[in-house]
Amino acid sequence: MKKVAFIFPGQGSQKIGMGKDFFENSDIAKDMISKASERLGINFEKLLFEENDKIGQTEYTQPAILLVSSIANAIFKETSNIKPEFVLGHSLGEFSALVSAGAIDYLDALELVHKRGKFMNDACAGSGAGMMALVGLDDEKVETLCKEQREKGLKVWPANYNMDGQLVLAGLKADLESLIDTFKEAGAKRAIVLDMSVASHCELLQSAVENLRPYLEEFLIDSFEVDVISNVTAKAYNTKEEAIDLLSEQLINPVKYKHSIASKDEDVDAFIEFGNGIVLKGLNRKITKKPTLNVSDMTSLKKTIEALNE
């Protein structure tokens, strides 16, 4: 039997209609969405399946993505006896990974990330925060440029190490915009300010750390069924104490996604992405030669299980 890792996407993977095929064809999905709506006082059927503005607001985006990922993973577990060697997620996806690992109940996780989104939004409110996608520069060059600009008083930091030649920066939107030409002169093929009002994984979220920590202590349990790979260290952890520290630090430190995949690549034969879309599958094509399967609806679930049993 193939050795696999379960991986979970973060913000940016959301889309109206995600999870609908699961909802229409699985009692597990219906039950999880009903319980989620009751727990948070959010109508998740409307949030997920009907046109609305909330899906793009981080306090709603985060639980929506986690719910769909957790549904996909729960249906897979019900259908297959394949266990992961480890689990990991991209940013928000690390919380979905914790659900999969048994370290937190999915309903508690939904409340936790709903609050996380609020705390992140509050930390950046009125600051002019934003994020930028950079393509075509190596990590060291970007780190050096950001450090030089911070020494000049600008607020810019590397936030997501997605794959070689693709980073996302966080900071003040005006500062990021002012550096577009600087990055292009340094060799960037693209430098695009994203349509976001939150600066994830940088020092601007310090207040969110203090607000989130008590809820991490309340909701996490010391019962990991499998190792989780940390976004902060790209190393495995499996205790509540470690999780509280690492998930707090995750808010103000960059996501080391490509490092996480590369560091554990030899331990598995394939990766399985759970949730809407194939964002991580796309990144993995540039990071690893191992295949990445996905479970985003009932059809892809069937194809993935067939591929694993070949």
Q: pLDDT by residue (tens digit) across 158-173? A: 999 999 999 999 999 9
Neighbours of 289 (CB within 10 A): 7
**Are both 145 and 294 inside the same structural domain?**
no
**Are both 90 and 177 inside the same structural domain?**
no
**Are both 224 and 178 inside the same structural domain?**
no
- Dihedral Cα 210, 213, 215, 221, nearest 10 deg: 180
The stretch 81-105 carries a mean pLDDT of 97
The stretch 202-218 carries a mean pLDDT of 97
**Are both 160 and 188 inside the same structural domain?**
yes
pLDDT per position as a tens digit, 131-151 = 999 999 999 999 999 999 999
For residue 273, pLDDT over 90 is answered with yes
Among candidate residues 26, 69, 70, 91, the one labeled active-site is: 91
Q: Which of 153, 144, 193 is nearest to 173 (CA)?
A: 193
User: Which residue, of 196, 216, 235, is where some domain finishes?
Assistant: 196
Q: Which CATH number belongs to the domain containing residue 152 in this structure?
A: 3.30.70.250
The stretch 201-219 carries a mean pLDDT of 97
Task: Please state, rounded to an integer, the average pLDDT across all residues of the chain.
Answer: 96
What is the C-alpha to C-alpha distance for residues 86 and 103, in angstroms, rounded to an integer?
13
**Are both 153 and 300 inside the same structural domain?**
no
With vertex at residue 299, the alpha carbon angle to CA 296 and CA 301, rounded to the nearest 5 degrees, is: 60
Predicted confidence at residue 197, as pLDDT, reads: 85
User: Which residue, of 139, 170, 196, is where some domain finishes?
Assistant: 196
**Residue 139 lies in domain:** 129-196
**Are both 302 and 272 inside the same structural domain?**
yes
The stretch 268-292 carries a mean pLDDT of 96
Containing 139, the helix (H) or strand (E) segment is helix 139-151
What is the C-alpha to C-alpha distance for residues 209 and 42, in angstroms, rounded to an integer?
25
**Are both 218 and 302 inside the same structural domain?**
yes
The stretch 82-105 carries a mean pLDDT of 98
Predicted confidence at residue 259, as pLDDT, reads: 97
For residue 73, pLDDT over 90 is answered with yes
Number of structural domains (the chain) is 2
Containing 25, the helix (H) or strand (E) segment is helix 20-25
**Are both 33 and 167 inside the same structural domain?**
no
**Are both 176 and 222 inside the same structural domain?**
no
Residue 91 is among the residues annotated as catalytic for this protein: yes
Predicted confidence at residue 177, as pLDDT, reads: 97
**Are both 184 and 218 inside the same structural domain?**
no
Residue 259 is among the residues annotated as catalytic for this protein: no
The stretch 89-95 carries a mean pLDDT of 97
With cut-offs at 50, 70 and 90, classify the pLDDT of residue 18: very high
For residue 96, pLDDT over 90 is answered with yes
User: Which stretches of 41-138 are DSSP H helices?
Assistant: 44-49, 58-79, 93-100, 106-124
For residue 1, pLDDT over 80 is answered with no
238 is written with which tokens?
């499996």
User: Which residue, of 146, 170, 196, is where some domain finishes?
Assistant: 196
The stretch 241-263 carries a mean pLDDT of 98
pTM: 0.96
Helix axes 106-124, 206-219, angle to 10 degrees: 170
**Are both 60 and 139 inside the same structural domain?**
no
Among candidate residues 90, 114, 201, 259, the one labeled active-site is: 201
For residue 154, pLDDT over 90 is answered with yes
**Are both 31 and 87 inside the same structural domain?**
yes
